[in-house]
Amino acid sequence: MERLELNHFKAFNNTLILDNAGGKNILLFGENGAGKSSIFSAIEYIFYRSKIEAPNPMLPIPDQQAELAAVREKYKNNQSAVPFELKFNGVNALSVNVVPYQVFMLNRFGKVEKVSLYDILSKNILPIDVNTFLSQNYSFIIDNVNNELEHSFLEPIQISIVDRTDGYVIVIHNKDTHLSRSQELDKYFNEATINLVQLLIWFSAVQLMRNPAKRCLIVLDDFITSLDAANRAYMMRYVLKNFEQEQLIMFTHDYSLFNITAFLIDHVYQTGDKWNQYKLYMVGDSHCLDLIRKISINDLKKECRKASTYDVIGNKVRKCFEQRLYDLAAELSVGQLEKTSDIIDCIGKSKNVYFNPKESLSDLIADIEAMLPTISDVTVRNTFVDKIDKFKIPEAKKLKDTVNLLRFYQKIAMHPISHGSLGVPHYCKKDVEESIKLLEQLDRCVKSILDGRI
C-alpha cells in the first residue's frame, strides 16, 4: 500500500491522505477517537467489499439495492451530504483488483470464557475458508503456539485441543500450577495470558496461510493493549521477526507501545529504512496525519530551487524550524531529564528533581545572579559565578540572533505561506531562501550545543 485516500469516510468529515511512498511498513500513533479505526475499516472495505456488500439472493432486486445503499450509508461520515470515496494507490475502491493481494486484519481480542480456533479465525478478517483450513492445519497451529510460548515468551503455559467437534476448543494448561481448564477461562487465568494464547493462534494461522505469490498486508489495530508490559515487548519482537517479508500496518493509541516498537525497528532490527511512522490527530473538527521524521534542510534547498510556488515549502520550513527548537529546548529546559536513563540515574543517586510550572531553570539562574551582588565575601561570590558559568553557552549571541531572525521570518513568510491569508500578497523566493539559510545556521548551533563543541 503506497497511498490511501479517504473522503467523507466514517470519522473523517474532510479528506485524509496516507501517503506511504515506497510501500513501506507503517507504524501509526493516534489517540482514541483520532480515526485509526476508520482507516482500518477503509482497508477492510477495499479488500473485503464483496463480502461486506454481498446481496441476499432471496430478496428482490429493488430490496437488494436498498440493502446495498444502507450498507454504504453506514460508512459515510454522518456530517457529510455527499457519498464517501476511497482510493487505494490512486484507484477508486470500486475498481481495485484485489486478486493479487492477501490481506490479514486483526483488532484486539475481548474477554472470553473459552477459546476455540474457529472463533479466533472466523471473528477476524482472513482470506480463507476457516473450516477447511482448520481441518488440515489445527495440529500445526497447536505445535507452533506451544513452541512460541515456551521459547519466545518464556511462559509456563501450553495448549491442546479438547474438542474438535465444537470449533476446536482448546484447554490451557499451566505447567507450574498444574491447572488445566477449557471452560470459564476468565476465572482461572488472567486476561493477558488468554489474549497471548489467542494472538499466537491467530499469527500461527497467518504464517500457514501466506501465499508467497501474492502481496501480503497484515493490518493490526491496537491488538496487544491487554498484554502485560513484558509480553508486549516480546510480542512486538515476535511480529517484527516473523513477518519481515510482509507489509505490516500497525495502529496504536498507546504511546509507550509506539516507542517500544520504534526502538525495536531503529535499534534492534535496524530496519528503519523499511518503515514510515505517522501521527494521526485532530485540529478542531479536522483530522491531520503527519509523517514523523526530521525534515532535511538539504531537501528544503533542493525543493526551493525547483519550486514555482511556495505554499508547501513554507509549511515545511516552519516545521523544520519548530523541530530544531524542540531539539534545543529538550536539552536546555530540563538538563536531559527527558532521557529515561538520566531520570533513572537522577532518582537512583538521590539527586533532587526540580520543577516549577510557572518558571524555567533560566528564571532560577537569573534570580541567583541578581542576588550575587549582595554576597560580600568575594571568594564565595566567585564560587557561585564559576558554577553558573559552567552551564552557560559561550557565544550564545549567535544562537539568540539566529532564533530572533527566524522568528521574524516565521511571522512574515512561514505562517502566511503555510496557513494562507486572505488578501496577503505572494511572498518572494528570497524570503524562503533566507529562512533556509538561517535554519542551516540554527542547525549548526544546535548540533554544536548538543555535542558540547560551541
Each residue's pLDDT, cut to its tens digit, for the chain (454 residues) gives: 999 999 999 999 889 999 998 899 999 998 888 899 999 999 999 999 989 988 888 999 999 999 999 999 999 998 888 999 999 999 999 999 999 999 999 988 888 899 999 999 988 888 888 999 999 999 999 999 999 999 999 999 999 999 888 899 999 999 999 999 999 998 999 999 999 999 999 999 999 999 999 999 999 999 987 888 778 889 999 999 999 999 999 999 987 888 889 888 987 888 988 999 998 988 778 888 888 776 778 888 888 888 777 767 777 787 777 767 755 665 554 344 444 555 556 566 655 666 676 677 778 888 898 999 999 999 999 999 988 888 777 667 777 788 888 777 666 555 555 444 444 444 467 777 888 888 888 888 777 766 655 4
Euclidean distance between CA atoms 427 and 307, whole angstroms: 13
Q: In what order do the strands lie in the sheet with 85-88?
A: 15-19, 3-7, 85-88, 91-92
Amino acid at 164: R
Q: Element (H or E) spanning 280, and its range?
A: strand 275-283
What stretches of 99-209 adopt beta strand conformation (E)? 101-106, 157-163, 169-174, 179-181
Beta bridge partners of 249: 26, 219
How many Å is the maximal CA-CA distance in the chain? 100
Euclidean distance between CA atoms 211 and 208, whole angstroms: 9
Query: How large is the angle between the packed helices 311-334 and 297-306, nearest 10 degrees?
Result: 160
Q: What pLDDT, on the 0 to 100 scale, is given for residue 426?
A: 47
| Dihedral (CA of 83, 89, 92, 98) sign | negative
Count CB atoms within 10 A of the CB of residue 324: 22
Residue pair 276/20 in contact (Cβ under 8 Å)? The answer is: yes
Q: What pLDDT, on the 0 to 100 scale, is given for residue 336?
A: 42
HSE, side-chain direction, 13 A CA sphere, residue 431: 21
C-alpha cell at 17: 491522505
Specify the DSSP class assigned to residue 76. Answer: B
Residue pair 417/409 in contact (Cβ under 8 Å)? The answer is: no
HSE, side-chain direction, 13 A CA sphere, residue 120: 25
Euclidean distance between CA atoms 418 and 311, whole angstroms: 6
* Residue 376 DSSP SS3: coil
Query: Euclidean distance between the first and final Cα of the chain, in Å?
Result: 45
Q: What pLDDT, on the 0 to 100 scale, is given for residue 239?
A: 95
Euclidean distance between CA atoms 203 and 216, whole angstroms: 14
pTM beyond 0.75: the answer is no
